[in-house]
Structure 1
Amino acid sequence: MGDYELFKKQVFGLTQIDLSCYKERQMKRRIDALITKCKITSYEEYIRLLKTDKVRLDEFVAYLTINVSEFYRNPEQWKLLEDEMLPYLFERFGNDLHIWSAACSTGDEPYTLVMLLAKFIPLDKIHVYATDIDRQVLEKAQIGIYDEKSLKGLPKEFVSKYFTQVSDRSYQISDQIKRCVKFCQHNLLKDRYPKECDLIVCRNVMIYFTEEAKKEIYQKFNASLKKDGLLFVGSTEQIISPGNIGFASFKSFFYKRL
């Protein structure tokens, strides 16, 4: 394929995605497979294609950012959020919570957050900021149409209340839920982070980063949270020695800023 180090620099120049922060063997395997699919034999030739073909560039970014998402993934963790974490946050910070869903993919997680919050407070009081590096998935999130597989774990009360079936296998989320979420493009590795968050949800994305990149992102999350604010992570993403980066383990997969 050629010089992968040079390729990484060229990709950063094109997309601002720093491939050095991702686990190399895993990411290189994905990229090589995509290049082969395009019937191209070198990184140099592929970069030329990306520079001249916007469709291919969008495809590359979407492929790179590994979007696997579903509503209510790991239901027991969402139940813990509903039963214990949200009441804690309301008691500590009031009802006007500042919530950031980072690396939100197709919107499943921020929309789930809104549906849970609506069990406690009126929808017009709910505001969730949701970001992802991939512009294509943000567009899908804003449209809000999902395959039935994405909804399989979602409580039936939410499906019946907030979704309309639009075909045999697809459902659209209601406008009243969509209005509660503001979607923006954001790169966790280079862009500025929001401030004064009460809750940050970032699940099932850190597994793709190197240890150095993880530490930097967790430190930035810490700086983004208010004191006693919470970080909600994925089921394979426990933070080792959270005290070293200003967190305390609060409950399973929830960390509190010290």
Structure 2
Amino acid sequence: MSESFDVFNKWAVTHLAMELDAYKEKQLQRRILNMMSNHPVNDLTGYMRLMEKDQQIKGELKNYLTINVTEFFRNPELFDALNDQVTKTLQPKFGSLKCWSAACSNGSEPYSLAMMLTDKKIKTTNRILATDIDKKVLTKAKQGLYLTSELKNVSTNHLNSYFDQNEEGYLVTDDIKRKVRFKEHDLLQHSFESEFHLIICRNVTIYFKPDARDRLYQKFYDALVPGGIFFTGATETINQPEQFGFKKIDSFIYQK
């Protein structure tokens, strides 16, 4: 089976535009086999042939592999710590900030950041860059429409100030939408923009093998200005951050 997955991984580079070799093997293979079981195929070769004929099935697998788990102000206590560092460290030093929310999923994270910066009247040099590999989830992010169940960490004040309620749910206001620029981007394969003051990438690197994860940490470091901040997820502690040039300044917050 391992040889079959080697072939599948090579196929994925061309047909899914994904570097699956960078993902943790057992977890990845379990997810692929789970999706394959939904279709009348006997092996990975049959599954690949089926996806080459059916773009919808191929899209379903890619969407499933690009795990989209997020929420507004995820881990609120960590967002409070970020708020403090942005206010006390970044804004006084740089004034206007260039920010990137990497692997932004449905947009709740960059919109959370936009709300936080708006609260503090902190300006950005450009719109917040928000990127993800999944086109489908980016479409939802650009729409900015969320169900009540997706807003559990949103305060009443934020709900009243930054959302408009309609029959379908809560729509992010145009003012907040204008502060965010969404873009399709593959962290493993695409180049990074640079000169960021703040980069947020949370609960993503846990799915990658150590060498791919370390490669990403170095690329994030290189994309920051000196003194810039990198904010990771609550399951992602960077061991020996100094090997990449970072110093830890708070829980899951690292500075270049």
Aligned residue for 1:114, secondary structure, equals: helix
Q: Deviations over 1:153-192 (max 9, x none)?
A: 1122111111122237x22111111111100011110100
Aligned to 1:42: 43
Structure 1: stretches of 5+ with no match in the other structure: none
Q: Displacement, 1:42?
A: 1.4
Q: Deviations over 1:201-253 (max 9, x none)?
A: 00011111111110000000000000010000001101000001111111111
Aligned-residue identity in percent: 40
Aligned to 1:246: 245
Whether the aligned pair in 1 keeps the contact of 2:98 and 2:124 (CA below 8 Å) is no
Aligned to 1:115: 115
Q: Give the 5 Å matches for 1:127-166.
A: 127-166=127-166
Aligned to 1:74: 75
Whether the aligned pair in 1 keeps the contact of 2:97 and 2:124 (CA below 8 Å) is no
Aligned residue for 1:149, secondary structure, equals: helix
Aligned residue for 2:37, secondary structure, equals: helix
TM-score, normalised by the number of residues in structure 2: 0.95
Q: Displacement, 1:4?
A: 1.0
Whether the aligned pair in 2 keeps the contact of 1:123 and 1:180 (CA below 8 Å) is no
Aligned to 2:213: 214
Aligned residue for 1:37, secondary structure, equals: coil
Count of aligned positions: 255
Distance 1:38 1:123 in 2: 50
Q: Give the 5 Å matches for 1:23-38.
A: 23-38=24-39
**194-203 or 125-134, which moves further after superposition?**
125-134
Q: Could you say what the CA RMSD is over the residues aligned between the two structures, in angstroms? A: 1.6
Distance 1:8 1:214 in 2: 18
Distance 2:87 2:165 in 1: 30
Q: Displacement, 1:16?
A: 2.0
**118-127 or 195-204, which moves further after superposition?**
118-127
Q: Displacement, 1:5?
A: 0.8
Distance 2:92 2:4 in 1: 55
* Structure 2 residue 250 is the aligned partner of structure 1 residue 223: no
Q: Give the 5 Å matches for 1:76-115.
A: 76-94=77-95, 96-115=96-115
**78-87 or 174-183, which moves further after superposition?**
78-87
Structure 2: stretches of 5+ with no match in the other structure: none
